[in-house]
Amino acid sequence: MDKKRFIIQYFKDKYKIILAFIGFIICNTLLYFLYDVRFEPILYATFLIFLFVFPFVLIDLQRTYQKNFKLYNMKGRQFLSLLEFPRADSLTEKCYQKLIEEIIEIWQDERVKQKKIDAERDDYYILWTHQIKTPIYVMELMLQTGDTTPSKWKSELIQISRYVDMALKYLQLENCCSDLVLKKIKLLPLVQEVIKNHSAILIAKHLKVHLYNLDNTILTDKKWFFFILEQLVSNAAKYTNKGSVSIYQPTPLQICIKDTGIGISNEDLPRIFEKGYTGFNGHLYQKSTGCGLYMCKKVSRILGCSLSISSEVNIGTTVTIHLPENDTLFID
């Protein structure tokens, strides 16, 4: 830090005090000329005041320089401790220091949150990488054995496409609130499109699909509500080996996705919406990232919906989407 520039700036900052001192000298000079007062006492008083003020000016100059020098050396550092800041003396300095402390605390909180988000994202993509290797490995095996069955290739390609779509949706989920487009949409065509996307696995497993009481119109964001339906139908098809998948509305504010699959144990049900939790079924089938239902739960809250699950082992599972009673969105 340049001392010369600092001294010049210091006296610029103290211009009011300097002007007051100059004004005092001018007033004393006017007294001398207007009232014929002896000059020696005026000069003597001015000199005494100067001698009294000058040491305080030097002390304040040195203290201010030390503070600025300390702050100057803190520039460019990535991490700062509140204890490193110079002591605040004036009321203004204390207010500024308090504000800086609050800003640092907010920054540290945000940094901790961002680290947690980054760690969760890293964990997800590590898991996602392992999951997407499975259909790729199957396709490599099919190439080696010369298996050219179109339905098998299509099934694996669809699986890869879903994993990629899931990864993209996971990234978009962080900014989900900013791209919501609420529109009134017809439920039946939306459900039919979801079923069409899963027709390969449904046909391969000879699963019947029942759609009824889906003639209502709902107010929601089409792409994100479609995402919820697709995840729930995908799970139903994945864990159902025989029987059917049914989608219906028991009431205008409920949409049910019911299957006759392997079901979920009572031990797993309370944790089924936790991130990364796959339960016994996920370990058994080795097809689950444990993020599908977690993302569904998060998106449904943003859309003002809620999810509930009832299930019996070897009987089936019913997932119910509870629609909002009004047009309110619940945004975390």
Identify the pLDDT of residue 233. Answer: 94
Residue closest to 237 by CA, chosen among 291, 275, 194: 194
DSSP helix/strand/coil, 80: coil
On whether residue 79 sits in a domain, the answer given is yes
77 with 209, same domain: the answer is no
327 token code pair: 């047009």
On whether residue 327 sits in a domain, the answer given is yes
On whether residue 39 sits in a domain, the answer given is yes
On whether residue 25 sits in a domain, the answer given is yes
Q: Is the pTM of this model over 0.85?
A: no
Instruction: Identify the domain boundary among 71, 87, 103.
Output: 87
Identify the pLDDT of residue 189. Answer: 94
The CATH number given to whatever domain includes residue 329 is 3.30.565.10
Instruction: Output DSSP code: residue 63.
Output: H
187 with 82, same domain: the answer is no
The Cα–Cα gap between 250 and 287 comes to 31
CA dihedral over 192, 312, 281, 239, signed as positive or negative: negative
75 with 189, same domain: the answer is no
Q: What domain count does the chain have?
A: 2
Phi, psi (rounded to 5 degrees) for 255: -125, 125
Q: Which domain holds residue 226?
A: 183-332
On whether residue 135 sits in a domain, the answer given is no
Identify the pLDDT of residue 331. Answer: 40
> Which ranges of the chain does DSSP label H, i.e. alpha helix?
3-13, 15-34, 39-74, 91-145, 150-173, 187-197, 199-204, 222-238, 279-285, 292-302
On whether residue 155 sits in a domain, the answer given is no
Cβ–Cβ contacts within 10 Å for residue 160, how many? 15
Hunting for tokens 């699959």 — which residue is that? 261
Per-residue pLDDT of the chain in tens (332 residues, 90 and over written 9) = 677 777 777 777 777 777 887 887 788 777 767 776 676 777 777 777 777 777 877 777 777 777 777 776 667 666 666 666 777 677 777 787 788 788 888 888 888 888 887 887 787 777 778 778 888 888 888 888 888 888 778 878 887 887 788 778 777 776 666 678 888 999 999 999 999 988 888 988 999 999 999 988 999 999 999 999 999 999 999 899 999 999 999 998 999 999 999 998 888 888 888 876 665 555 445 455 567 888 889 889 989 999 999 999 999 999 999 998 865 444 44
On whether residue 98 sits in a domain, the answer given is no
Hunting for tokens 């000069």 — which residue is that? 43
Contacts of 154 (CB under 8 A, 6+ apart): 200
196 with 310, same domain: the answer is yes
Instruction: Identify the domain boundary among 52, 87, 122.
Output: 87
Q: How far is CA 145 from the centre of its chain?
A: 46
Asked if residue 314 lies in contact with residue 263, where contact means CB atoms within 8 angstroms, the answer is yes
Identify the pLDDT of residue 288. Answer: 55
On whether residue 311 sits in a domain, the answer given is yes
Nearest-Å Rg of the Cα atoms of the chain is: 36
Identify the pLDDT of residue 236. Answer: 93
Hunting for tokens 């991490």 — which residue is that? 79
Contacts of 117 (CB under 8 A, 6+ apart): 174
Instruction: Identify the domain boundary among 59, 87, 115.
Output: 87
Identify the pLDDT of residue 14. Answer: 76
